[in-house]
Structure 1
C-alpha cells in the first residue's frame, strides 16, 4: 500500500500570519460562545412561552441553510482577507446595537430573533472565509496540523469558556456578555486587518455580482460537488454522522434525566465530556493522520461509533454514558479535521467559497433532520431508541466507507500547493490514487 502523503509533518513553526488568524479565530469563538448562550437565556427571561423562546434558537439556525450557500458564493468574488475582518466588524456593530436596545429596555423576542439571525448570517460567511484562507498562511506545514490548531482554539474558547463566562456575566448584568462579545469581535477584526499572505492569493473576482449570478453559481457548485466522487462521498458521510449525533443529542437531556436518573447538573457535565472528547480528538488528529493516513482515520472514526451508540442504548450507568459521549466527541473532531483538509486540498481556490457552501448546506440540512428523527423515534419506541437508530445509520456509513475512503484513494490528495485551480465548473478534479483498497 502506498504511504499517505501526511506521513511526514514539517517541524518548522507556523508564521505570524497563521498565529494572527489562530488568535482571531479563538477570540471570535469566545464571542460566539458567550452570545449564543446569553441570547438563549435572555429569551427565557423575556418570555415563558416555549414557542416564542424556541423562535430565537430557530432564527439562529436558519441562516446555515438559507444564507450559507449564497454567502459562500459571494466570497469567491471578494478579497477574502478583507471580508474576514469586515465580518468581525459587522458582528461587533450588530451586537453594539443590541446592547443599546438593552440599555433602552427595548428587547423583545422579535429583537432577539432578529439579532440571532443577523449574527448567524454573518457567521456563515466568516466560518467559510476562515477555512478558505488557511492554505494562505499554513506555509509548508500540513493542513491537517493547521486545521487541528484552529479548530482546537475555537473549541476551547467557544465550548469551554463561552457558557461559564456568559453565565457569570449575565447573572451580573444582562448587557455584560453582549458587551464582551462586541469587544471580542472588534479585537478579532484588528488582528486580521492587514494580514496579507506571502502567496498573495486572495481569490477575488472583481466582476459585477448580481443575484442571478449568485443563484446560478450556487447551483453550479452543488452540481460540481455531486459530480466529484470523493467529496460527494465525504459530504454524505459527514452529513449522516451529524444526522446520527443530532438524533441522540436531541433527546439527550431526557435520556439523562429519565434513563440515567441524573440531575441537570450532571447532564451539564455529560455535555462537557463531549467537548473534552472533541478537544482530545483535535489534539490527536495530526499524529493519527500522520501515522495511519486520512482514509484509515475516517474509517476508524466511523467504525467506533456504532458500537459506542449501542452501548449508550443499553446502559443505565452515567459513567458508561460519559464514555459514549466522549467517543462521539472524538469521532466528530477527527472527521472534521480530515474533511476540512480534503476540501481545502481538492476544491479549486477560486471556487472554494461556493462549493464549501454547498457542502455545508448538506451537512447543516441533515443535522436538524437527525434531531427530528431522534425525537420521533424516542416518542414511538422510548428514550433508548435514538441510540440504536444512530448505530444503524453509522453501521451503514461505516460499511460504505471501508472501500470508498481508503488510504489508497485519499492518501495522495495534495496538501495545498498542488490544489486544483483550473478545472471546469462542471468537471470535478479526479481524486488521485486508485479507488478502493
Structure 2
C-alpha cells in the first residue's frame, strides 16, 4: 500500500474525540469485571444446586428488569443528566457486588442473595446501557456512529466474554468471593471515567401539561408507529430468546456433556468474545459491502449455524467455534440496528424509544433463560440448541423477504418525509 493511500485512509477515519475515549474506557473496565461475574455467578449457582432450572434462574433474575423497568428507565434518561446518572448507577452496583462478596465470605451468600443481587445489577444495566447509547450521538460525529458503536461493543465483548470470564473462572478457583469483589472495583473505576466526560446531551424539560404516564407512552407510540423499528424489535426479541436459552444452559452442557471444569467453561465464553471482537472490527465494512438488509440476513444465518453445530456436534472445539460464530452474528446485528435507532428516532424521544425497543428486544432474555432451563431439565441441553436453530432459520427467511423489498431504505425515506410526532398527547 502506498503512503498516499495510507494517508487517505487515515484522513477518512472518523475522529471520535476525548469524550468518547472516556466512555470507551468506562465500558472496557466495567465489562472486564462484568465478565468475571458472568462466569462466576453460574459457577456459584452450580455449587449451591444441581437443578438446571435454579441455575437458569440467575440469568432470569439479571434480565427480567429489562421488562419491568425498561420504559421508566427511558424516561429517566430523557429527563436527567446522563453523566450524573451513570456515575451513581456505577457506584450503586459497586456497593451491591461488595455486599455479595461479603455474603459469600460470611457464609450467608446463598441462592436468594445471588438472585437479589443479579436482579439489582440488571436494573443498573437497564439504566446504564440505555444512557450510554443515548450519549454516543452527542459526543461523536454522525459519520463515526457505526465505528463508535462497534468499538464500544468490542470493548464490552472483550471484557464480558473473553478476558473477564477467564479471569473470573481463575479467581473463582482461588476464592469464590474474589471475582465479585473485583467487579465492584471496576465499577468504581468506571464511575471516575464517566465523571470526566465533558460533553453531554442537553436535558429536555418535561412538557408543562404532560403526565409521567403520557411521557413514557410517547416513546412507545413513536416506536410502534414505525414499521421498520417495530419489526426489528420483535425479531431482536426472538434472537435474544434463542440465544439466552443457549447461554443459560451452557454451563450445564459444558460440565455434563463436554466434561469441562470452571476454567474450561470460561474458555468457552472466551471463544464467544473472540468472535465478537473480530466481528466488531469488520462489521461496519461488512455492512457497507452487503448493505444493511444483507448484513441482517447474514447475522441470522450465522446464529442459526452456531445453534445447529451445538445441537449436532458434542465436541469442545465445535462448541468453541459455534460460540464464536454466534457472537459474530449478534455483534453485526447490534451495529446495524443501534445506528438505525440513533439516526431515525427524534433526539428528544431517543431515551424512551430506545427503552421501549429494549423492553421488547431484551424481553426475550428472561423468557429464553427460563425456557432453556425447563427444556434442558426435561429433554436435555442439546434440544435447547436444536429449537434455537429452527427458530433462527425462520428468522433468516423472514429477513431475506424484507431485504428483497429493501425495507430499510424504504423506511428511511418514509421517515424523512413524515412530520415529527408530538412529545405528548
Q: Identify whether the pair has TM-score above 0.5, normalized to the shorter chain.
A: yes
1:101–1:107 CA contact under 8 A, matched in 2: yes
* Corresponding residue for residue 3 of structure 2: none
What SS does the corresponding residue of 2:422 show, helix, strand or coil?
A: coil
Tell me how large the CA RMSD over aligned residues is. 3.6
Measured in 1, the distance between the counterparts of 2:191 and 2:149 equals 20
When residues 405 and 218 of structure 1 are mapped into structure 2, their CA distance, relative to the original with a 3 A threshold, is farther
- Give runs of aligned pairs for residues 228-377 of structure 1, distance below 5 A: 228-252=226-250, 262-265=258-261, 269-307=267-305, 309-316=307-314, 318-374=316-372
Displacement of 1:232 in angstroms is: 0.9
**What does the per-residue CA deviation read over 1:86-133, in whole Å, with 9 as the maximum and x for residues that have no partner?**
222222333345556567665454443333322221121011111110
User: Whose helix fraction is larger, Structure 1's or Structure 2's?
Assistant: 2
Measured in 2, the distance between the counterparts of 1:285 and 1:409 equals 20
Return the TM-score normalized by structure 2: 0.82
Displacement of 1:175 in angstroms is: 4.7
Segment of structure 1 superposing worse, 67-76 or 304-313: 304-313
1:346–1:420 CA contact under 8 A, matched in 2: no
Displacement of 1:77 in angstroms is: 1.1
Measured in 2, the distance between the counterparts of 1:54 and 1:299 equals 30
* Corresponding residue for residue 81 of structure 1: 83
Uncovered stretches (5+) of structure 2, i.e. residues with no partner: 1-9
* Corresponding residue for residue 146 of structure 2: 144
* Corresponding residue for residue 123 of structure 2: 121
What SS does the corresponding residue of 1:293 show, helix, strand or coil?
A: helix
What SS does the corresponding residue of 1:22 show, helix, strand or coil?
A: helix
Measured in 2, the distance between the counterparts of 1:194 and 1:146 equals 18
Uncovered stretches (5+) of structure 1, i.e. residues with no partner: 1-7, 428-437
Displacement of 1:49 in angstroms is: 7.5
* Corresponding residue for residue 21 of structure 1: 23
Measured in 2, the distance between the counterparts of 1:79 and 1:419 equals 31
Displacement of 1:376 in angstroms is: 5.7
**What does the per-residue CA deviation read over 1:173-216, in whole Å, with 9 as the maximum and x for residues that have no partner?**
4554333223211221111114232xx63343357999x71x44
Displacement of 1:71 in angstroms is: 1.4
When residues 87 and 196 of structure 1 are mapped into structure 2, their CA distance, relative to the original with a 3 A threshold, is same
2:300–2:392 CA contact under 8 A, matched in 1: yes
When residues 277 and 364 of structure 1 are mapped into structure 2, their CA distance, relative to the original with a 3 A threshold, is same
1:301–1:331 CA contact under 8 A, matched in 2: yes
Measured in 1, the distance between the counterparts of 2:116 and 2:107 equals 16
What SS does the corresponding residue of 1:141 show, helix, strand or coil?
A: helix
* Corresponding residue for residue 430 of structure 1: none
Measured in 1, the distance between the counterparts of 2:100 and 2:317 equals 41
Segment of structure 1 superposing worse, 27-36 or 56-65: 56-65
2:246–2:372 CA contact under 8 A, matched in 1: yes
What SS does the corresponding residue of 1:192 show, helix, strand or coil?
A: helix
What SS does the corresponding residue of 1:34 show, helix, strand or coil?
A: helix
Segment of structure 1 superposing worse, 34-43 or 185-194: 34-43
Return the TM-score normalized by structure 1: 0.80
Equivalent residues, number: 410
Q: Does 2:388 correspond to 1:390?
A: yes
